[in-house]
Amino acid sequence: MNYKICYTKSYNRLAARFIRFHPELEEQYRKTLQLLELNPFHKSLRLHAIKGQFDNLYSVSINLKYRLLIILIIKEKTIIPVNIGSYDQVY
C-alpha cells in the first residue's frame, strides 16, 4: 500500500513559491513526491529524522541542495509536507 500525501494550504503556497523561483527543479520535485508516495524509505530520498527544535519532523532530499520537511505518520501511512527550500531556509 502506498503512502498518502496530505497537502495543507500553507505548504501549497510555499511549494508554488519554490517552483516559481526554481522552475528548473519542478520535474525533480514532482519525482521526489511520487517516490515519497511509493516508498518514503527509498535510499535516494535520504529520509532522516530531525532533532532539536524540529523534533517529530523528517527531512527528504530533492537534490543535494534542496530539502523537503515532512511529518511522517507511519501507522496511518500519511505524509504531511511542512516546508521546502534550501538547507538554510528549512532549518
Condensed to tens digits (0 to 9), the pLDDT of residues 17-74 reads: 999 999 999 999 999 999 999 999 999 999 999 988 888 899 999 999 999 999 999 8
- SS3 of residue 50 by DSSP: coil
- Name the burial class of residue 8, with classes exposed (0-12), middle (13-18) and buried (19+) by CB atoms within 10 angstroms of its CB: exposed
Q: For position 56, what pLDDT does the model report?
A: 87
Domains of the chain: 4-86 (3.30.2310.20)
pLDDT for 1 beyond 70: no
pTM value? 0.90
Residue tagged 532549518 (cell numbers): 91
Cell of 19: 517552483
Cell of 57: 519532523
